Amino acid sequence: MIDKAYLDSLTELLGKNTVNQIRLEYVQDSTLKLEQLLRAWEERDFETLKQVSHSLKSASLNMAAKQFAQQCEIIEKSAGKGDETPIQTTIKSVSDVHKETLMALSGYFSMLK
């Protein structure tokens, strides 16, 4: 779900408080962008799907949320081609993976001393 080794090195480099603040901003931003993504899918707005999924992918990679980033990448590439099938498959689980990612990040930071 998350890359703990990456988070460990990021936390060592920037400090727990800084990385936790980045996490809190990620939670807010990714939640809003996920809503935009789902709305764009309902409207079949492929340009917005491409842009929002790209933004989510980048932010998720920065926050070590590898699985969620992979889903966003599938949506981004498929939206760029106007290919609905991979999006339809991925969009079904994207909210659940996002929720699990946020829980994993929260758990990671609650374990840090």
pLDDT, tens digit (0-9, with 9 covering 90-100), for 50-93: 999 999 999 999 999 999 999 999 999 999 999 999 999 999 99
Cβ neighbourhood burial of 86 (10 Å; 0-12, 13-18, 19+) = middle
Structure tokens at 65: 């949320």
| Angle, alpha carbons 31-32-34 (nearest 5°) | 65
The confidence score (pLDDT) of residue 113 equals: 66
Mean pLDDT of the chain: 96
100 and 1 in contact (C-beta within 8 Å)?
yes
CATH code linked to domain 4-111:
1.20.120.160
Instruction: Please give the average per-residue pLDDT across 95-101, as a whole number.
Output: 97
- Amino acid identity at 9: S
